[in-house]
Amino acid sequence: MMFSKSQLQNYYEGYLQTKLLWNPQTTFCGLHQFQIDTESQLYRHPKVRLRLGQLAEQFVFNQLETLPSCDLLAENIQIQHHKQTLGELDAILKYKAHSYHLEIVYKFYLYDETLGTQEVDRWIGPNRNDSLLQKINKLKNKQLPLLYSIPSKIALQHLNLDFETIRQVVNYKAQLYIPYQKSITFETINKNCVEGFYIKRNQIALFSDSEFYIPNKLEWFLKSHANVDWCSYSHFIKESESYLSSKKSPLIWIKTSENHICKCFLVWW
């Protein structure tokens, strides 16, 4: 699939508008955010990767390459041992005289108040096959410790790094969605990450006088807007059924009869 420069630029701008999941001045579950402050809004990175998570990584690399005093030393480093892949280090960089190991995360989470006892327990993926807590544990127990393995040190030996001084950080962005017409109080998560709401199958009829659009996966980066091919309620019901019957929760845009446009997930569960 080929993308025009304008498409990539639009996806990049959508990515830039997504907020960090928590305040970079604090830690969350022991993790430190790496906030990238660059004034460049232009996407120039030569690579194009088709999966949303991979393209988010390229967007971060583009930011780093335009960040003053930043030297991106290596990206997407495959760590292998006896021909077995142990994992991947997203990026190694130097910034303002410090060395960093950076892991990049871009996620979509929905708030399920029936789960767990803490806020961190209740953020899950749209299809319930991943969660914020699972990703935090993977970062802390697998992805970040990988840096200090012998195979990693061998793979990075040409960079002449002092592994004892490398700071480990994340660039963790997320779009958050809360239950329709419910108010959620946030204690640790950045409330500015909320992009919309989610509805269940039995709530679709509440929007029977609306028009709908089901964006492709890379369009998930975007803010919802009017310049798309909207479909009728009856057409949307037929199209959405193929997702729901396969236990997939599509992201949808809704344009109400008052021309208010909103972004939400229709969940199968």
pLDDT in tens, 193-222: 999 999 999 999 999 999 999 999 999 999
Do 243 and 262 fall within a single domain?
Answer: yes
Regarding whether 182 and 50 lie in a shared domain, the answer is: yes
Give the pLDDT score at 144: 98
- What tokens appear for 135 in the block? 């990703």
The amino acid at residue 262 is C
The one-letter amino acid at 225: H
Distance CA(80)–CA(183), nearest Å, equals 46
List the single range of 43-47, 181-185, 204-208, 225-229 with lowest mean pLDDT.
43-47
**Rg of the chain taking only CA atoms, in angstroms:** 20
Same-domain check for residues 111 and 226: no
Kindly report which listed range (115-119, 141-145, 247-251) carries the lowest average pLDDT score: 115-119
pLDDT in tens, 69-94: 999 999 999 999 988 999 999 999 99
pLDDT exceeds cutoff 70 at 251:
yes
Task: Name the residue range of residue 171's domain.
Answer: 5-195
232 and 127 in a common domain: no
Same domain, 162 and 59: yes
Both 42 and 97 in one domain: the answer is: yes
pTM across the whole model: 0.95
Locate tokens 């929760």: which residue? Answer: 249
Residue 48's pLDDT is: 74
Please indicate, yes or no, whether residues 101 and 184 belong to a single structural domain of this protein: yes
Same domain, 129 and 150: yes
Q: Does 214 share its domain with 125?
A: no
